[in-house]
Structure 1
Amino acid sequence: MPAYCFRQIFRRACSILFATALLCGGCFCFMPAAAGAFTAQATIEHNTIVVGEMTQLSITVTDGKPSNPPEIEQVAGLQIRNLGTSQQFRIVNGQTSSSFVYNYSVLALEPGEYTLGPFKLTTKKEEVMTNTVTLTVLPASGPSSGTGGEEPAGSPQTGGRREQLFLEVSVPKNRIYLGEKLPVTISLFVGDLPVREISYPVLDASEFVFAQAGRPVERRRIIDGRAYQVVEFPATLTAVKTGKFTLGPAKLQCSVLTRTRRRSPFPDFFDDFFSDYEYQPVTLQSDTWELEVVPLPTAGQPANFSGGVGQFELTATANPQEVQAGDPVTVTLTVKGTGNFAALSAPVLRHPDGFKIYDAQRKTSGESGEEVAVFEQVLIPLSEGVDRIGPYELSYFDPVAGEYKTARSEAIPLTVTPGSEPAGATAFTRPGRGAPAYGRDLVFIKGTPGRLRLQAKVFYRQAWYWWLHLLPLGVFFAALYYRRRMAMLSSGTPKARALRATAQAGQRLKKAQALLEKGEEERFIDELHTIVREYLGERYDLPAAGMTGEVVNQLQAEGLSEDSLKDIKEFFEAYDFYRFTGRKPAADEIQRLRETAGRILAGG
């Protein structure tokens, strides 16, 4: 056998041995580190749901792989289904850990308190039990729009079945008092529809003050056998006028994925092939509902009524509590509870005798979900006979009880000592002595300024002369900056490419605008497409020829925002649509395409 054959066999054997060693080493490197006994933890997405809603139960196993899934027993009043498993690997500081997650859906069928777990998991060597989780299921509320016996506001029906996308307004009652803050829940129900760009709902009601009351909450509900993803927007309504009103509809804007039909010469069975999907803006509206606002009763209204409507508690603190007569004391009044804090006035001091009282100042308003209002008031005790402050009183109307109530704070003990200078003391002078007479001394006070003359100012004592020395230094730094900037612009760094691309795109965009003014829309769109392609190619060092909307896959690594990637993809898709369908774009479509290109050139 020739020698070169032995050399080839030897090289191939060495290559196989090297690849085997490398593969074994990699396997050892990525094996999970032994972290001792594995752990398991059970968590639930929502601890409180209503009948018909669905939540998710997750069992997470860390640093171990069970030989069998956990044993999940069905609970009366609940329906538990397996959603599958997921696995995660993490490498932190060279330490590798893994986790398995078992996911289950929990559907509430009956109200009550439920305890899920503990669940048992076993491996080949050990057995572990998870913790328990508690689930509270509340009864399903009835018609929530405030009109007895009707469907909840915003729940349209089609042949006895709910639509895929609708808006519903829930209010606890349909009769409130003037100034009462009514909690409102606006719920967006989403079925099997891709929805995005959901805005906060608005309610046009001039007789009420509509305000947000927290962050939206997502839930899952089953209605008439259909699953919905529900987004609940908490809000409040405060009545500013009495009477019977028809409120609504509440409005919400979002974008829904819809199918558009392209022009095709083929029969209908090719529709799915030639169809395209895009997000279209949609404005949802709820049903209207009746609400009656009644005035506050005049009978039993206290003279110091604060204007607050709700349920409040009052506490008072003073600092300092040991003072001299005439020294100020700052009293902090804290009002907590639920209600209309905006109309709340400061609490009143019940026993004001012996104090000089200043007006109370509001520090926090109690709006935006704070549910607290803080006032500060300055008091000055006039004599040492004062031994306490208060109590303070806050009169308000309780809409639940339907009557006026008064919240009182505890009296604050106060120690007042006599002042350093007793009140009423007058200054006196010793009799028999007049004002001293002053004569002329060595350096006496001049009665007249004398003769004045202008002092000469030489140029080197002027401020401008010393500032002039900085001029050569400024010229030097300006020239240095200009040289470095020109060198940077001529280089191939990402910053230089971005500056060059922006400058070139701006110049060409002005020329393209002239085409649009002449009425040459098709040439304008072609020129705009060329500008965007060459801008992206120059800035991100990509080939501009043949660039399509798929370029976003390459631009994701450049750190672009989701909005920028969306604009780039929409621009190329719109251009391809007008280019290959032959349809002449309308004026608003050209303007939208121009605005999209402007955003790409500004932030792409």
Structure 2
Amino acid sequence: MVKKPLRARVSLPLPVRALLLAAWTVLGLYLHSGLMAQNQALRAEASFSPPSITVSNGTTYKVVLFGTQENPQGAIPSIPGLTISNNPQVFRTASFRNGTPSVKMEMSFQVKPLKQGTFILPSWDLKVGSKTLRVPEASLQVLAPSEQDLIRREREKQQREDLKQAAFIEFDAPRPFLFEGETIFATISLFLWDRLPVTRIEQAPVKIGDSFSMTELRQPNEKRNVRRNGKSYTVFSWPIGLTAAMAGDHDLSFKTSIRIRANNPRNSPFNSPFFNDPFFGFGREESLEILGPKQTIEVRALPMKGRPAGFQGAIGSFTSLSSIDVDRVSLGDPVRLTFELSGTGNFSAIPAPEISSDKQLKVGPPAFSFEGNQLTKHEGKQSFEYILTPLSAGLVEIPAIKFSYFDPLEQRFLSTRTSAHPLRVDPGENWNSANPQPTVEGEVSNEAAVPTVDLFQTESDPGEWFPALQRKTLLENTNFWLLQLIPLVGFCSLSFLGFRRKTAGIEKQRQKENALLRQMKDSVGFKDAPALLRAFRDILRLRIASLRKHPNPSSLSSEEILSLLRLGNNSEEIIQEARELLRSCDDQEFAGNELARQPLESLYQTSHGLLKKLK
């Protein structure tokens, strides 16, 4: 009797069996959907949903493909007056209808009208695999704004007006006109309402207008409890020196940006939540741009009538004074001549008056110095210092200095003249040779006897003795090399600290990006669209700031991100894809849960692919 060998029965754990069953089910559904797609005829449908809207609303252009789930290829025709997104939302479904299998794919494009009227999107071709589908035409009717739209527009207009009173810029100039090349003292003031939850000023005011130049802006002057428009403001003011560059009527304005706190995405400054909330300010930060009013300033050309020959471009009101440090010198000794110019005007553009050398005086190049407001250089005292060397003995006259300028208040040319300075130049001492030539006995020298009154005894005490007449070179000095070690050690230490700091910053940024990537991936599993979009925007800011060396990634807005992308070697397709994703981020941020139905897996793949293609 032969015994059959015993077979061991392996019992799999329950979780493993459930996982295998799910895998077989998914594989079966995939194969089944493929068979259904092969047996179902291909066709396409297109429509606007809704088909009738007002000019201030949006709609969705839907294209439904029956009989396939493959990604199609094609381009939607452009329609003047309609803005159609290039990044659709894609939905794929498989079902049974009356016992017949059916698969379809739906693509939704966001559409925004620019004007009212009836728009017809003509039929166009889509390529699916090796086949070509004809998408039928669709029509959209855009109506005039409704009563609710008009009320909403009025509300938004009122909110913008309220926002202008919450933060605004003022520019104060002494008069509404300037002369070409003139420098005036002006002030830029930023008014911030005390109830506005401002965290910081992102940047100092920036000039808009190429016809003017201004001095550098430094720390502003702060003044609190300033009443304006029935409100209390904190005013930050920057004094500047403004110079007109060319004649004509030119526009000038200023802009800046501040950071404020918002409670939630709906409580943005454009919804004016802080106008009635005294405890506002415990949420996220938003950037708010402030644009000052545009002013037209007349820049007049300087008149040609009455212009002096020595005019060099000085505009303002000045007085002049000159002085010398000594009035008696020996031949060849230098004399310091100082010319001082005091008053108000364009000191930074005034050249030194020209003083020519002659047979009696040699004039060296002048040295400049300014006493006054170093920031604007509009009011103070400018000094020009010349070194004069007399070339002949006797009584020499240092000539007067004439200075011509244009007075913008009197609107005419004026001149000032300093007084001349007499200078006595002595011939100096006559030196003779200390070793006279010997004469032969009996010879009568034709030269006169050497006087002894000009001879004097030099120092007879011996000085310091040296072992050799040739001194040691600097390279042979031990102290020199010891001193060179100090900057070398400092340079090496700073280089090492800089390298450590740079590598630490790179590692910190890499950890942030990895954390945000994990957050994006986890958001897909939790079906959390807001978290996915927020993580994508943050990592995009970090990536762009790293590529373009931007110092503050968190302050980048959507438009700033797109402008930085254009600076790189990125294609227009990448920029358009980034624009659509950023628009989705903004829509999710300000539209709440209206975008929660987006396919997160497709959105994750699109955003992750975009991050890999950035340059």
TM-score (norm 1): 0.43
Higher relative contact order (CA 8 A, sep 6+): 2
TM-score, scaled relative to structure 2: 0.43
Quick check: which has more Rg, 1 or 2? 2
